[in-house]
Amino acid sequence: MPGEDGRRRYEQGVVQVKDEDISKLSEATGTAALRAGWSHGHRDVSGGWLRPTVFGAVDGLVTNASLIAGLGGGGVSAHTVVLTGVAALVAGAFSMGTGEYVSVTNQNELVHAEVNLERKMLAKFPAAEQEELAGYFRDYGADPETATRMARAVSQDPGTALRVHTREELGVDPNELPSPILAGLAAWLSHRGWTALAETRPPLAAAVAPRRTGCPLGDNPSSGRGTA
C-alpha cells in the first residue's frame, strides 16, 4: 500500500523528492533571487573590442600629438602642420585597423590549429583524454569516483569534451573567439577619433598664431656680436 510504503521509508530515514518538486524549488529560488537583485549577466571580457579600442586611442593620442607638437616647435608653416596632421590621422587609422585585423586573425588561426590537434588526440586516445579530464575535475575538488563519472559523462559528447579540454589546456573557448573585423574596426575608429582630438588644437593654434620672423645671429643685440 502506498501509505504504508511511504511510512516505512520515512522510518528508515529515506527521503525521496520528486523531480517536479525539485523544479518548483529551483524556480522559487530563482524568482526570489531575481527580486532581490540577483543577476548573472557579464560584459565581454574576451578582448574582442576593448583592447584594440584602448590601444588605438593611446597610440593616436601619443604619437600624433607628439608629431604635431614637434612640427609646430620646428617653426614650419601652418599649412604644413595641418597637412601633416591629416595625413597622420588617415595613415595611422588604417595602419592600426589593418594591424589589429591581421593580429587577431593570426591568433584565431593558431587557436584553431591547437583545437584541431586536441580533436585528433581525443579521437586517437579517448581513454587517456578521459583520464586527463578526470584529473582536472579532481583538481577542482571532486573525489576520484565523482571525477571519473563526470569525465565519462562529458566524454560521451565529442563536442562538449573538446570544448572542456580546450578551456582547460588552452584557456580559451573555441566558440567565443574575438572577431578580427570587430577588432580592426574598433582600432580604426578609436585611433581616428582620438587622433583628430589630439591634432585639433595644435593645427588651430598654428593657423591663428602670427608667424615669428627670426633675426640673424649677427644682428642680435643681446649676443654682443652685432655688426657695427
Q: Which grid cell is 78?
A: 601652418
Report the chain's C-alpha Rg in angstroms.
33
Residue with cell 640673424: 216
Q: Which grid cell is 175?
A: 566558440
Over range 179-190, report the average pLDDT: 90
Q: What are the C-alpha distances in Å from 5 to residues 13, 18, 19? A: 13, 16, 19
What span, in angstroms and rounded, lies between the C-alpha atoms of 86 and 202? 12
* Closest CA relative to residue 155, chosen from 140, 136, 176: 136
Mean pLDDT in the chain? 77
User: pLDDT-derived band of residue 222, with 50, 70 and 90 as boundaries?
Assistant: very low
Q: What is the pLDDT of residues 47-73, one digit of tens each?
A: 678 888 888 888 888 887 788 888 878
User: pLDDT-derived band of residue 40, with 50, 70 and 90 as boundaries?
Assistant: low
Given this model, what pLDDT does residue 44 score? 64
Helix (H, G, I), strand (E, B) or coil at 139: helix
Q: What is the pLDDT of residues 5-21, one digit of tens each?
A: 544 444 444 444 455 55
Helix (H, G, I), strand (E, B) or coil at 135: helix
Q: What is the pLDDT of residues 111-167, one digit of tens each?
A: 999 999 999 999 999 999 999 999 999 999 999 999 999 999 999 999 999 999 999
Q: Which grid cell is 228?
A: 657695427
Given this model, what pLDDT does residue 1 score? 45
Given this model, what pLDDT does residue 104 score? 92
Given this model, what pLDDT does residue 24 score? 54
User: pLDDT-derived band of residue 215, with 50, 70 and 90 as boundaries?
Assistant: very low
Higher pLDDT: 86 or 34? It is: 86
Are residues 63 and 192 in contact, defined by beta-carbon separation less than 8 angstroms?
Answer: no
Higher pLDDT: 68 or 226? It is: 68
Residue 87 confidence (pLDDT) above 90:
no
Higher pLDDT: 76 or 164? It is: 164
In percent, the amount of the chain with pLDDT more than 70 equals: 66
Whether this prediction's pTM lies above 0.75 is answered by no
